[in-house]
Structure 1
Amino acid sequence: MQQEPDFFHNLNQEMRDGRRWLERTVVLAYAAVAGLSVVAFTLLADAAFGFFERLYHWHGGWLVLLWMPALTAAAVWVTRRWAPGAGGSGIPQVIATLEPSVDTGLRRRFVSLWLSFAKIVLGSVGFAAGLSIGREGPSVQVAAGVMHSARHWLGPKSAINSHALLVAGGAAGIAAAFNAPLAGVVFAIEELSRKLESRSSGLIIAAIVLAGLMGVSVFGNLSYFGRIRVSQLGWHDLLPCLAVALSCGVLGGLFAKLMTLSLTSSTERLNRLKSRFPIRFAALLALLIAVIGLVTGGATFGAGSEAVKHMLQGEADVPEFYVTLKFIATWLSAWAGVPGGIFAPSLSIGAGVGNNVAQLAGVSDIAPALIAMGMAAFLAAVTQAPLTAFIIVMEMVDGHSLVLSLMASAMIASMVSRMIARPLYESLAQHMLHVARASLPKEPEAEAAVLQTKAAAPESPGEQADPDSAGRPR
């Protein structure tokens, strides 16, 4: 028969283990620093985009045709030269570090204090350039780099390993960026770790919540998009709701597929051009983004949060083809290689889908609900993480009355997306690991064995030596 726990004995054992309490204190202290780092990134990114908006509204906005390519090219050059691991979203980098086969040396290519600092600075430069990027994905890498550095203060026999710190840091980034601790916890389980180790799960959750509280302490306990008020959804609203979920599922799946092909394929002609002239390629993409922004009256610049707020308030002042053009601008921004995420732009694209369906169906009374469902559905389709998507949107709009609707739309969209594309972040993480391992110096013995094998291989009948290629066969 199982013995009942002895409270006083267990309390005495807990209090006697001073080393464990010291480690817990260290982890929670770093969680607070991680949350404050994300807060600093948020303030800097907002200030940078505010500067871009003032520049855009100065003399008709045509200056952005020069400003955006120049600043984007500079950001890509600095990223490639001094912080290559900081490029892109940041979530694939953290997922890559969680692979069991990744050692300490390889892990430092994806998360470190230096990369966290570079991500904050270069991500803010991307906002100053007016690119269609978000700060939530980069916040995951920023917080993970800060949290992982806590490992230096923990003993070799500590129950808190690198895996736990990286999961806690990545989820803390989501919690602090969205001001949504619950979303951070779900993100840790669904997207990063797939499970939490029982011996450290309580501490990980506490660290995530503490990091989220750093954002609350600065920005207040307010929903990002305010509190939406919608009439009760009925069965007669089923068709518009289903149209939003299915449309976002298809568009999100196509977006994920396009992103995967653009960022991982090395055989396409454009990607070969990007590899050969990365700075000029980024400048050209930025010029295209600038043209799109001018055509839309500036609606596609930045993360798109203001456009979402206007749609939720019934001020549908976005262009008719906002969804398509924001889709293209976000894809081109990610392809350019500047540090920046896709969470916030995905929310704005999904909101645009919901707004379009509401206008076509003539159901303005439930338009805010359809917009919120579109946000959850498109984000779920892109990330294929439906639980995280619907909880993020629920906390951002204070939409507890829409829990079932948001969950259903996210689940349907994610299911449709899985029929079209592979998981985006996992595909990018595997590609990054492949590239990083290929760039590692080979062992002398292994390299000699490869050369010996090539020398011993018989020449095929159709092969001829090419004197202009250093003896390599054509």
Structure 2
Amino acid sequence: MPKPDLAATRARLRKARMLRRSRRVWVSRAAWRPRLVFWAGALAIGLVSVAFAFLADEAQHAFAALRQPGGFGFAATWLLPPAGFALSAFLALTFFPNSQGSGIPQAIAARHLDEAADRGLLLSLRIAAGKIALTLLGLLCGASIGREGPTVQVGAAIMLAAGRLGGMAQARGLILAGSAAGIAAAFNTPLAGIVFAIEEMGRAYEARTNGLVLSAVVLAGLASLGLTGNYTYFGESEAAAGSAIDWVLVVACGILGGALGALFSAAALRLLRRLKRWTVGRPRARVVGAAALCGLLVAAIGWASNGATYGTGYEQARAAIEGTPLPPLFFAEKFAASLVSMVSGIPGGIFAPSLAVGAGLGSTIGLVLGAGSGLAATLGMAGYFAGVVQAPMTAFVIILEMTGNQGNVIPLMLAALLGFGTARLVSGEALYHSLSRNFVADVLRARRAEARHTGL
């Protein structure tokens, strides 16, 4: 019968064509170049993140050394913060526009822009370099900021540049992958990087970006792992909820943490809007003056707290998780210092300071209830962080990975969920996405102004 033979021949021809096409894909330079450039970008994110972390620690140690009694102690405590804040604001406004603040809103905003030139106003290698330098300057001057949010903007900028170099057209996917790789490398939390990409960065997450995100997180994580080894950000914690008072602690940390986190977001957004309206007409002088005033306030809060509120707050949070109770008012002092640092407009993130505030809040609640400090600090971080960013899955996963406590899964999930729910009741505005809309509006406004000028 001829028909089966004809069908078999067609099948063999199709198979042969597929094999030839597959061979061309695997041996073609045009096919491999984008992959190699992309992988190089992911590895670069890991290397830059490790270097950034090392320099951030050195900047904080240098500021602590300058504050020692005698010598430059008085000047470092009272003059360096306002002068450094003013210098950072001036440099950001003049030479590195759109490097201000956390960096996560810029990355989110860039995903909503269609033109490559518009995205370049928010994510470029020049802005990334300025972001790193000015964040380090802020830490050297005692600002209550972190490096993790800036690492997201830096990672997105590196990946976007790598994509252009490799001829990859998936700009939104590249930004998502770079952002996830930045979080994963900054905290050594690969799962949190992926969850952050889905929940916070990509509210409209596309399945086709799975490969980009996963491979970027893996390669950036391998680069970080090769240089720093396998570690948990806050060390190991064995604390777990077992008694009735522990579950009362879970509910208290979730609700109070979420309410305080929502208060931080609402206050930051309101103050930033007022500051933006006030600086219209004389942006440079007023922005620099406001930053100097914020630096003076940070200095005063740092002096009142005996230096506990300066920097990221990593040491205080780790001590609380390991079982050492923090001073009862530490969370309020760190809250104020972080809010003022954010409102100042200098480059710097809120991830690490938020975790420190949450740990302090949990420690205080634990003291009131007579519960263990380690468990209380961990639950406080989950509730407060979920309240600030309104991303409960990210809060739960990132804290779980940072503490390595697999026996605390359900309590952490519940605290993060309660924090998120409370924050939504107190304030419906998500901090990062509200700020990202401001950046989108600024970029579109600048493009319209340029179009009018060109038309004239």
Structure 2 residue 332 is the aligned partner of structure 1 residue 324: yes
How far apart are residue 219 of structure 1 and its match? 1.6
Would you say the 8 A contact 1:175–1:211 is kept in 2? yes
Structure 2 residue 439 is the aligned partner of structure 1 residue 432: yes
Q: 2:81 is matched with which residue: 46, 49, 68? A: 68
Structure 2 residue 111 is the aligned partner of structure 1 residue 103: no
Residue type of the partner of 1:331? Answer: L
Aligned to 2:3: none
Aligned to 2:409: 403
Deviation per CA, 1:403-434: give whole Å up to 9, x if none: 11111111110111112220111100101221
Aligned to 1:248: 257
Q: 1:23 is matched with which residue: 13, 30, 34? A: 34
TM-score (norm 1): 0.86
Aligned to 2:424: 418
Aligned to 1:78: 91
In structure 1, distance between residues paired with 2:46 and 2:259:
35
Would you say the 8 A contact 1:86–1:119 is kept in 2? yes
Identity %: 36
In structure 2, distance between residues paired with 1:40 and 1:389:
25
Would you say the 8 A contact 2:330–2:360 is kept in 1? yes
What secondary structure is seen at the aligned counterpart in 2 of 1:244? helix
In structure 2, distance between residues paired with 1:42 and 1:445:
43
TM-score (norm 2): 0.90
How far apart are residue 198 of structure 1 and its match? 3.5
What secondary structure is seen at the aligned counterpart in 2 of 1:168? helix
Deviation per CA, 1:295-343: give whole Å up to 9, x if none: 1111000010111122123322x43311111111001001111100000
In structure 1, distance between residues paired with 2:15 and 2:101:
50
Residue type of the partner of 1:47? Answer: E
After TM superposition, the structure 1 stretch with the greater mean CA deviation from structure 2, 143-152 or 194-203, is 194-203
What secondary structure is seen at the aligned counterpart in 2 of 1:84? coil
In structure 2, distance between residues paired with 1:300 and 1:387:
27
Q: 1:193 is matched with which residue: 202, 218, 230? A: 202
CA RMSD, 1 decimal: 2.5
Aligned to 1:458: none
Would you say the 8 A contact 2:42–2:217 is kept in 1? yes
Would you say the 8 A contact 1:273–1:281 is kept in 2? no
Q: 2:248 is matched with which residue: 222, 231, 239? A: 239
> In 2 relative to 1, CA 413–271 (structure 1 residues): closer, same or farther, beyond 3 Å?
farther
Structure 2 residue 349 is the aligned partner of structure 1 residue 341: yes
What secondary structure is seen at the aligned counterpart in 1 of 2:296? helix
What secondary structure is seen at the aligned counterpart in 1 of 2:426? coil
Aligned to 1:453: none
Structure 2 residue 74 is the aligned partner of structure 1 residue 51: no
Deviation per CA, 1:139-197: give whole Å up to 9, x if none: 00011111000122333xx5x51111110001111001001111111111111123543
Aligned to 2:138: 126
Deviation per CA, 1:7-39: give whole Å up to 9, x if none: 998776444213333322221111001111111
In structure 2, distance between residues paired with 1:244 and 1:28:
41
After TM superposition, the structure 1 stretch with the greater mean CA deviation from structure 2, 236-245 or 337-346, is 236-245
In structure 1, distance between residues paired with 2:235 and 2:16:
47
What secondary structure is seen at the aligned counterpart in 1 of 2:58? helix
In structure 2, distance between residues paired with 1:212 and 1:288:
37
Aligned to 1:358: 366
> In 2 relative to 1, CA 225–11 (structure 1 residues): closer, same or farther, beyond 3 Å?
farther
Structure 2 residue 400 is the aligned partner of structure 1 residue 391: no
After TM superposition, the structure 1 stretch with the greater mean CA deviation from structure 2, 271-280 or 297-306, is 271-280
Runs (5+) with no aligned partner, structure 1: 449-474
Deviation per CA, 1:364-401: give whole Å up to 9, x if none: 3xx31221111111111111111111111111110111
Aligned to 1:371: 377
Aligned to 2:8: none
> In 2 relative to 1, CA 200–241 (structure 1 residues): closer, same or farther, beyond 3 Å?
closer
> In 2 relative to 1, CA 70–444 (structure 1 residues): closer, same or farther, beyond 3 Å?
closer
> In 2 relative to 1, CA 390–274 (structure 1 residues): closer, same or farther, beyond 3 Å?
farther
Residue type of the partner of 2:78? Answer: L
Deviation per CA, 1:240-266: give whole Å up to 9, x if none: 211111000100001011111122346
Aligned to 1:464: none
Residue type of the partner of 1:400? Answer: Q
Aligned to 1:257: 266
In structure 1, distance between residues paired with 2:141 and 2:190:
30
Aligned to 2:388: 382
Would you say the 8 A contact 1:296–1:319 is kept in 2? no
Aligned to 1:299: 308
What secondary structure is seen at the aligned counterpart in 1 of 2:225? helix
> In 2 relative to 1, CA 235–25 (structure 1 residues): closer, same or farther, beyond 3 Å?
same
Q: What are the within-5 Å matches in structure 2 for residues 118-267 of structure 1?
A: 118-155=130-167, 158=168, 161-265=170-274
Would you say the 8 A contact 1:248–1:381 is kept in 2? yes
Would you say the 8 A contact 1:126–1:339 is kept in 2? yes
In structure 2, distance between residues paired with 1:221 and 1:307:
22
Residue type of the partner of 1:423? Answer: A
> In 2 relative to 1, CA 52–267 (structure 1 residues): closer, same or farther, beyond 3 Å?
closer
In structure 2, distance between residues paired with 1:348 and 1:12:
57
Would you say the 8 A contact 2:90–2:284 is kept in 1? no
How far apart are residue 360 of structure 1 and its match? 0.4
Residue type of the partner of 1:44? Answer: L
What secondary structure is seen at the aligned counterpart in 2 of 1:240? helix
Which has the larger helix fraction? 2
Q: 1:33 is matched with which residue: 34, 44, 62? A: 44
Would you say the 8 A contact 2:124–2:158 is kept in 1? yes
Residue type of the partner of 1:83? Answer: F
In structure 2, distance between residues paired with 1:7 and 1:58:
79
How far apart are residue 231 of structure 1 and its match? 4.9
Aligned to 1:114: 126
In structure 1, distance between residues paired with 2:24 and 2:353:
50
Residue type of the partner of 1:147? Answer: M
Residue type of the partner of 2:390? Answer: Q
